[in-house]
Amino acid sequence: MAVGSTIEWTEATWNPVAGCSPVSPGCHNCYAARMSLRLGSMPNKTGDKYGGLAKKLRSGRPVFNGKIQLDYDALEAPLSWRLPRIIFVNSMSDLFHESVPMSFIRRVFDVMNRCPQHTFQVLTKRPERALEVATELEWAKNIWMGTSVETKEYYERIRLLQQIPAHVRFLSCEPLLGPLPRMPLKGIHWVIVGGESGPGSRPMQGTWALQIKEQCEKKGVPFFFKQWGGVRKKETGRELEGQTWDEMPELEYSGGIERQRAL
């Protein structure tokens, strides 16, 4: 239902929804599609949840096929977590996918609003739908809303995100596939940057990451450098200009990522 995470900017993942469909170049080497194929082969409830949601193309590249699975058993999992956590919502899907019913989105938000001890990070490539339904949802301070921006052609996602009444709005520039000059950062509270990882990964240039970091510094926006990526991402590491950049917005509870790293 929910597991600890190795993703550097979160502590746990919660997946009441599984499955997705590609919408932009950032989806080309989707890690979630690759993982879904692996999980779908398991002879248990996990296999039932993820089976049939992704396929392999003739090239061997995994891709989501557009099918969505709603996991009602996982829906209330965070309510049982007493220790505060930073939770990435739907790392294996997109809460605002067009096939996720509004009634289910409301239930996910209801759970998040009932868990003030946690911080929920909702990330979408469909901010247009998130904005469309935003007034129908309750945005507690612990619900962060983000969108993915892989190239400058997707700046419109930022402009849509800026209109959503979340307490914290963030950008995930991962996989970073090109330079992002003159980013519209007004009303943005956090920026994550990372290269693409896994088979067939496309390289990220250091100048692209530094350009974003400089813009964040000028605007006073916390900057988080997640990884360089590549087939062996552990070898390429996380340092940019000789150091790691783990800046984050202030959490509603004490500890957060630093508490998790100390465990």
| Distance (Å, whole) CA 213 – CA 156 | 20
Assigned domain for 196 exists? yes
Q: Across residues 123-133, what is the average pLDDT?
A: 98
Assigned domain for 46 exists? no
Q: Across residues 206-213, what is the average pLDDT?
A: 98
Assigned domain for 83 exists? yes
By mean pLDDT, which of 85-94, 113-122, 243-252 is the weakest? 243-252
pTM greater than the 0.85 cutoff? yes
| Distance (Å, whole) CA 194 – CA 135 | 31
| Distance (Å, whole) CA 215 – CA 26 | 22
- Residue 89's CB is within 10 A of a number of other CB atoms, namely 26
Q: Report which of 5, 41, 200, 24 is spatially closest to residue 53, judged by C-alpha positions.
A: 41
Q: Across residues 30-57, what is the average pLDDT?
A: 96
Assigned domain for 24 exists? no
Whether the per-residue pLDDT at 255 is higher than 60: the answer is no
Task: Give the CA count within 13 Å in the CB-facing half-sphere of 224.
Answer: 19
Q: Report which of 86, 163, 81 is spatially closest to residue 119, judged by C-alpha positions.
A: 86
- Residue 82's CB is within 10 A of a number of other CB atoms, namely 7
Task: Give residue 167's pLDDT band: very low, low, confident or very high (50, 70, 90).
Answer: very high
Higher pLDDT, 253 or 163: 163
Convert the pLDDT of each residue in 96-124 to its tens digit.
999 999 999 999 999 999 999 999 999 99
Q: How many domains does the chain have?
A: 1
- Which domain does 82 fall in, by range? 12-17+74-262
Assigned domain for 142 exists? yes
> 146 Cβ partners below 8 Å, 6+ apart?
121, 122, 123, 124, 161, 169, 170, 171, 172, 190, 192
pLDDT for 1 equals 44
Assigned domain for 171 exists? yes
pLDDT for 231 equals 87
Averaged confidence pLDDT in the chain: 94
Assigned domain for 62 exists? no
Q: Across residues 133-156, what is the average pLDDT?
A: 98
8 A C-beta contact, residue 142 and residue 116 = yes
Task: Give residue 28's pLDDT band: very low, low, confident or very high (50, 70, 90).
Answer: very high
Task: Give residue 73's pLDDT band: very low, low, confident or very high (50, 70, 90).
Answer: very high
Say whether 40 sits in a helix, a strand or coil.
coil
Q: Across residues 127-142, what is the average pLDDT?
A: 98
Task: Give residue 66's pLDDT band: very low, low, confident or very high (50, 70, 90).
Answer: very high
Q: Which residues pair with 17 in a beta bridge?
A: 70
